[in-house]
Amino acid sequence: MKDNENISVFIAEDEQPARELLIEYLLGRSELKLEGMAQTGQEALEKLSQKDYDLLFLDINLPVFSGIEVLEKLDRYPYLIFTTAYDKYAIKAFEIGVIDYLLKPFSRERFNQAVDKAILAIRENRGNLKGLHEIGLAIKENENHYIIPFDDVVYISSHSRHVVVHTEEKDFESATLLKNIESRLPENKFIRIHKQYVVNVKYISHFQYLIGGQYEIYLKDGDETALPVGRKFTTLLKSRLNI
């Protein structure tokens, strides 16, 4: 992008005061041009799918689809600045190509700081514009949203209608089904080994036969976790491990 070209902006914000504030601040920046708006996640998804924009101001807590769900459904998205009223949202924003993170209510000065960083990244054509599905797993734990890089996930376990995403640093619990999580994982990195477990292949240490025709796998994590292998998953696991 040339320095004299306008930067097209899309705002996805359901709260009128915050939306008006963004518009007011945006109009004060000659480099920016507002070209689209949405008040729900569904509307944002439809419009962002139809046209490319340079910069997206995205409220996390949108109706219908959350901001995170919008990103999950897009193949790619613009340079991104998150906005939210809740400082408890624990998002690894800068690991997924997000420019900045604005906590409402934000000042003109704070807005300009975020915009300055965005303009620099856009004009230098740097940053991660891949779809979220290529970068990490989005998880909601109570009111907190997490985006966990796939390489950080050791394994995922199912507990009734909840799953736990296990990483080296901590565990994340979410009210969803394992099959829903599995469908969002890259097949070349993960494998289902049991009706209750999906494992990151890179963390598998070894595979052991037990008496009675059962198998266990051992993981290269701090706990040296051992997990059972379901009978119907054994052949596929052996194939993936070249056994």
The pLDDT assigned to 229 comes to 94
The pLDDT assigned to 10 comes to 97
The stretches in the chain having pLDDT less than 50 are 89-90, 93-94
Task: Tell me the domain boundaries of the chain.
Answer: 7-133, 139-240
The pLDDT assigned to 136 comes to 81
Q: Are 133 and 76 in contact (CB under 8 A)?
A: no
Tokens standing for 86? 């809740």
Q: What CATH class does 7-133 carry?
A: alpha beta
Per residue in 102-145, pLDDT tens? 988 899 999 999 999 999 988 887 555 556 666 788 888 877 77
Furthest-apart CA atoms within the chain: distance in Å:
72
Please state, in angstroms and rounded to a whole number, the distance separating the CA atoms of residues 43 and 191.
Answer: 35
Nearest in space to 116 (alpha carbons), one of 91, 92, 81, 82: 81
Nearest in space to 155 (alpha carbons), one of 110, 100, 101, 192: 192
The pLDDT assigned to 94 comes to 46
The pLDDT assigned to 93 comes to 47
The pLDDT assigned to 4 comes to 64
The pLDDT assigned to 35 comes to 97
The pLDDT assigned to 96 comes to 56
The secondary structure of residue 175, as a DSSP letter, is S
**Identity of the residue numbered 95:** E
The pLDDT assigned to 127 comes to 53
Please state, in angstroms and rounded to a whole number, the distance separating the CA atoms of residues 148 and 172.
Answer: 10
E strand residue ranges, 30-91: 32-38, 55-59, 79-84
Instruction: Please report which residue ranges of 4-136 form alpha helices under DSSP H.
Output: 16-27, 41-50, 67-73, 108-123
The torsion region of residue 43 among left (phi > 0), alpha (psi -120 to 50) and beta comes to alpha
Tokens standing for 173? 């619990």
Nearest in space to 79 (alpha carbons), one of 102, 104, 56, 103: 56
Tokens 């705002």: give the residue. Answer: 11
The pLDDT assigned to 123 comes to 85
Indicate the length of the chain as a whole number. 243
Pairing outcome for strands 98-103 and 7-12: unpaired
CATH H superfamily, domain 139-240: LytTr DNA-binding domain (2.40.50.1020)
